[in-house]
Amino acid sequence: MKQYIVDAFTSKPFSGNPAAVCVTDRPLSDAFMRNLAMENNLSETAYLLKEADGYNLRWFTPGTEVDLCGHATLASSFVVLNFLEPESDVVRFHTRSGLLKVRKTEGLYQMVFPIYKQKEIPVTGEMEKAFGVRPVRAFLGVDLVCVFEDDETVRAMTPDQTGLSGLPGRIQNATARGREADCVSRSFCPKVAIAEDPVCGSAHCQIAPYWAGELGKRTITAYQASKRGGTLYCELTGNERITIGGEAVLVAKSEVVAL
């Protein structure tokens, strides 16, 4: 089985968010997919299986399968549109979150995702203790989004992972208005065995709509301020959908033999 390592939301190797993309020719057991994801020890390993009208796509962290993953979807589209179907500029993925379409346009891989509904919740002492700084606002949907005063606070965070595990939401996000981008964010994921997701596409299904409302804009340029760093180009398109785009670069190709 061929496996590609792709850095997503970047044009430079060893930055952005790395994902493993495995191209399969038959269904694999859940146990095997979990074990290979654990062996890869990347935030996501994606599995592609060709179907009549696209590809079945599943995502696994080192700890569990997830319902939606932005950067591994971008990485998978990079593999399909550059190596499997280079004559195409659109790919369809059938996933646990429904049909996802990705289009390659002027060097960007543009994904159409659902906007996650969220509601404002009270800021708590537990949030302050976990992040090390008290948020000014907090919102809860699939993920927790905590808003802070400035981007330097977000960039400098060294949060308490145990404390984050006790907070609501699948992923605990910290965000602030940016200076060089519309917003700056970080995504911490101890509940899925990831201390920090370097660049989290799905988290921006909540983060980007929040900043679009605050800034009065439909398009948001977002920077994920992890050690690796990465940029996401987001646009609210109506019908509760958001387009999230980014670049990608190939790092390695290999053969998985433990099947």
Q: What is the pLDDT of residues 207-221, one digit of tens each?
A: 999 999 999 999 999
Distances (CA, A) of 176 to 99, 112, 192: 31, 24, 24
> Residue 93 has what pLDDT?
97
Contacts of 257 (CB under 8 A, 6+ apart): none
56 DSSP β-pair partners: 49, 94
- Low-confidence stretches of the chain (pLDDT < 70) are none
Q: Is 156 exposed, middle or buried (0-12, 13-18, 19+ CB in 10 A)?
A: exposed
> Residue 111 has what pLDDT?
94
> Residue 63 has what pLDDT?
87
Domain 2-112+245-255 has CATH 3.20.20.70: no
> Residue 96 has what pLDDT?
92
Domain segments of the chain as ranges: 2-112+245-255, 119-239
> Residue 49 has what pLDDT?
98
> Residue 238 has what pLDDT?
86
- The answer to whether 196 is a known catalytic residue is no
CATH fold for the domain made of 119-239: Diaminopimelate Epimerase; Chain A, domain 1 (3.10.310)
Question: Which of the following is catalytic: 39, 44, 128, 240?
Answer: 44
Backbone φ/ψ region at 140: left (φ over 0), alpha (ψ -120 to 50), beta: beta
232 DSSP β-pair partners: 222
* pTM: predicted TM-score of the whole model, two decimal places: 0.90
Radius of gyration for the chain, computed over Cα atoms and rounded to the nearest angstrom: 18
Common-topology check for domains 2-112+245-255 and 119-239: yes
> Residue 199 has what pLDDT?
95
Which helix (H) or strand (E) covers residue 114, if one does? strand 108-114
